[in-house]
Structure 1
Amino acid sequence: MTADTRARPFRALGIRNFRQFAAGQVVSAAGTWMMVVAQDWLVLELTGNSATALGTVTALQFTPMLLLTLHGGRLADRYDKRVLLLAANLLSGLLALLLATSVLTGTAGPGEVYVFAFCLGLVNAVEVPTRMAFVGELVPVGLLPNASALSAAYFSVARVVGPAAAGLLLTVLGTGWVMVVNAFSYLATVVALRRIRPDELYRTARGTGRVRVVDGLRYVRGRPDLLIPFAMIAGIGLFGLNFQLTLPLLARTVFHTDASAFGLLTTVFAAGSLTAAFLTTARTSRPSARLVTVSALAFGALEAAVGWAASFPAALALLFLTGGASVYFAQAVNHRIQLGSDPLYRGRVLALYTLVLQGSTPLGALAVGYLAETRGARSAFVVGGLASLGTGIAALCLRAGRSARDRAGDGPGTDTPAADDMRTGKARP
């Protein structure tokens, strides 16, 4: 790959299949973020601004990640990822349409929202790891970091457009119609998947034996260079990445804003995420363990600062930086894990990544929701930031200990031969 090629941030879009998929995902993801804003606003309206109720919805949506994501990764490694994604998006659209109908007819209550959140979580347990692994089939291995960064970028674009549009539509049309728009947005991904050319996918040969979850866990357990990033994303995901819960509480209970101002908070956070995503498009190789750790420390410090923001403008500025730091950290971890994994295990490895990142959210959401209910929304940001800082410091200590053992000749190096194979794009059989 030439220096000129590396300098082009949109180079993966030169691949037709990835271009089709990205276009569909922008529309669908924008609808999803509209749904997030509408759903959170609906729950707060139905429950009198209850942080516990909002935490319950978040927990129900992500609890299936704890139970089924590893099996979703097994399905991704065993079956056609394109077919799985088609089915998942059609089902998600149907679920969204059912909830929208309930809201428009005036029959929706907290119970209906809880059921929808749980059912959507069941679908996402398969869709998320499958989608992440499918990116590796859309582009050659040399373009995988760029494609992954662009995926984060278009999700950040959606996170900017979606909440902004939701804030306007909530005021003009109401919650139910925002949900209708989300339901039909899934068709964009369905159309894109139908337009993808299967003969141009970069697929690896599937193993001849059984595809088992336990084999993927054993693979990760034997890779110390993967275990520390997994531990970091677990600690930070538990308390530091609950913005779906903390942002609406910050808007309503700290700054006492309306729906449009809430949309502005979310949009500014997403704009920071988008900026960081574009910065990571220049990445061409596996990030170092040091980079992952430093990005975690920066994120923790910024999130804690949001909790101490004295004014709404100060909170906006800090949320922009925090959004950027969160995506930069998440992308660094994602690239370190994905580019260090054998393609034969990638679906299960990314399922474990999804499980750790999003599956820890139910426990964190309940704890953070209770903390915000009893101590205020500011405390949720401060504690989340300090917990993230602690996780980064613990990772530094672990790395220092491993380096000392390696120098003494008591242990293997951080990067294994399998990781070196992935840097060159050559997977072991």
Structure 2
Amino acid sequence: MTTPARDHRADHRWYMAGLWGYFLAAGIQGVLFPWIIAFVLHESSERLGIAQMFSMLPMLLLGLFGGAAADRAELRSHLMRLQTIAILPPLILAAFIYNGIITYELMILYVLSLSTLGGYIMPARDSMLSRVAMRSMGGNIQRAVALAMAGQFLGQVGGYLLGSPAEYVGAWPLLILQSSLLAFAMFTTTRLMPAPPSPRENARRQPFKDVKEGFVAVIKDDRIRPVLLLMFFSGILFMGVFMVLFPILIRDVYQGSSREIGFVLMSFFGGIGISSLVLSQLRPIRRQGRAIMIAMCTGSIVMVLIHFHPPIWGVDLLALCWGLAAGVSMSQSRAIVQESASDALRARMLAGFNLGTMGGGPIGSLLTGYVLRWMGPLDAVLVPAGLMLFLWASIFFLTPLWRIEAPR
């Protein structure tokens, strides 16, 4: 009696289900964490900036090691172990809050633990995408990346929606929900096909050598390097806006709370998800570098318009427009890496690219907290807008990014 053939398309469905579960949980955390810091604990903009820096820093610093571990591991079981551990931090924090214990230091420990695990989970999940695309989507990397981007950011939007009533339902029920979604993501990983590592000349584990090998490959690649430069410096300029400036703007200028924070984040990340979903249904973009650079201009325009103090619904609308453009730049930059990376180095090259593109976030969050204190929210938005114009011109004249095209 023969075993029925496996439907390889099911791999992509399970992968996307797990992606949705993981980023629904991340969206809840994205609203809950700054709300507790700024509204429950009433911390200053500087302290919020430091907290948001810690929410990203371990994931970035450990991402290269996570990529090295993923390149040497059987990806399915590796992801299952990591996601099982990730279920615990929200449950532990929920128990503390339920018993009336909540401090700034406890929140830092909570976010450090999840960020540390994220440094290993994200490279493994990104590397798994290429395996799934080859089996389930005929090797169409651009479409696989665009669909994954859409699932990631629309999942975050759903998480923001779930987290936005925090002021009414309290933090601990939402933390239990976050933990449940992470458990669902772990379950979906058990349904994927095994993904053994590619054969290597040196099978002995050498973490620091592996990390160096992946990072050097990213820096030396002529297609990836200019994208990395633009994304790194734009991360310094703009990631702090979302992590620090928007929560303070909503608290101090618009007198809002968790609901308003959730709406503005939903607008931005919903825009990314929508544009990524549309891109997945279109023909692959040929002039990828040009698309990335044109899309990057939108953030500066949005910041200038926010300076003129639009109504809160106007801020949401501007965030949506910015997200639509960001979906183009993010999906195309990620597709360039997926197309350029080799199987043996893919997880490390993706981790190195993540370090470069997201590495500006902790720096931007820290600096934004102090710029806010010095200038106030409405004037502070002009700083990244002005610096972005200088960055754009430098990338245009000094690198070949404008001329980069997709491989035929």
TM-score calculated relative to the size of structure 1: 0.85
- Are the structure 2 counterparts of residues 288 and 208 from structure 1 closer, same or farther at C-alpha, using a change threshold of 3 Å? same
Contact 2:306-2:315 within 8 A present in 1 as well = yes
Following TM superposition, by how much is the alpha carbon of 1:46 offset from its aligned partner in structure 2, in angstroms?
4.1
Structure 1, 242-251 or 224-233: larger mean CA deviation = 242-251
User: Percent identical across equivalent pairs?
Assistant: 19
Partner in structure 2 of residue 367 of structure 1: 367
Following TM superposition, by how much is the alpha carbon of 1:285 offset from its aligned partner in structure 2, in angstroms?
6.0
Q: 1:191 aligns with which of 187, 194, 205?
A: 187
Following TM superposition, by how much is the alpha carbon of 1:93 offset from its aligned partner in structure 2, in angstroms?
1.3
User: Could you say what secondary structure the match of 2:101 adopts?
Assistant: coil
Task: Give CA deviations for 1:42-63 in whole Å, capped at 9, x if unaligned.
Answer: 1113442521121111111222
Across the aligned residues of Structure 1 and Structure 2, the Cα RMSD in angstroms comes to 2.4
Equivalent-residue separation in structure 2 for 1:205 and 1:77 (angstroms): 7
User: Could you say what secondary structure the match of 2:284 adopts?
Assistant: coil
Partner in structure 1 of residue 4 of structure 2: none
Structure 1, 261-270 or 117-126: larger mean CA deviation = 261-270
Kindly indicate whether residue 306 of structure 2 is the aligned counterpart of residue 306 of structure 1.
yes
Contact 1:65-1:354 within 8 A present in 2 as well = no
Following TM superposition, by how much is the alpha carbon of 1:380 offset from its aligned partner in structure 2, in angstroms?
4.1
Equivalent-residue separation in structure 2 for 1:319 and 1:134 (angstroms): 31
User: Could you say what secondary structure the match of 2:39 adopts?
Assistant: helix
Kindly provide the amino acid, as one letter, of the partner of residue 278 in structure 1. L
Residue pairs, 1:243-322, within 5 angstroms: 243-281=242-280, 282-284=282-284, 287-322=287-322
Kindly indicate whether residue 98 of structure 2 is the aligned counterpart of residue 108 of structure 1.
no
Kindly indicate whether residue 341 of structure 2 is the aligned counterpart of residue 341 of structure 1.
yes
Partner in structure 2 of residue 219 of structure 1: 217
Partner in structure 2 of residue 410 of structure 1: none
Residue pairs, 1:7-406, within 5 angstroms: 15-140=9-134, 142-168=139-165, 170-198=166-194, 205-209=198-202, 212-242=210-240, 243-281=242-280, 282-284=282-284, 287-399=287-399
Gaps of 5+ in 1: 1-12, 404-412, 424-429
- Are the structure 2 counterparts of residues 83 and 296 from structure 1 closer, same or farther at C-alpha, using a change threshold of 3 Å? same
TM-score calculated relative to the size of structure 2: 0.89
Equivalent-residue separation in structure 1 for 2:357 and 2:375 (angstroms): 25
Equivalent-residue separation in structure 1 for 2:96 and 2:147 (angstroms): 36
Contact 1:207-1:344 within 8 A present in 2 as well = yes
Equivalent-residue separation in structure 2 for 1:261 and 1:222 (angstroms): 43
Contact 2:239-2:365 within 8 A present in 1 as well = no
Task: Give CA deviations for 1:136-177 in whole Å, capped at 9, x if unaligned.
Answer: 111116322112111111122222221122123x14320121
Gaps of 5+ in 2: 1-6
Following TM superposition, by how much is the alpha carbon of 1:262 offset from its aligned partner in structure 2, in angstroms?
2.5
Equivalent-residue separation in structure 1 for 2:70 and 2:197 (angstroms): 12
User: Could you say what secondary structure the match of 1:284 adopts?
Assistant: coil
Following TM superposition, by how much is the alpha carbon of 1:274 offset from its aligned partner in structure 2, in angstroms?
2.0
- Are the structure 2 counterparts of residues 283 and 255 from structure 1 closer, same or farther at C-alpha, using a change threshold of 3 Å? farther
Structure 1, 238-247 or 383-392: larger mean CA deviation = 383-392
Equivalent-residue separation in structure 1 for 2:106 and 2:286 (angstroms): 44
- Are the structure 2 counterparts of residues 394 and 120 from structure 1 closer, same or farther at C-alpha, using a change threshold of 3 Å? same
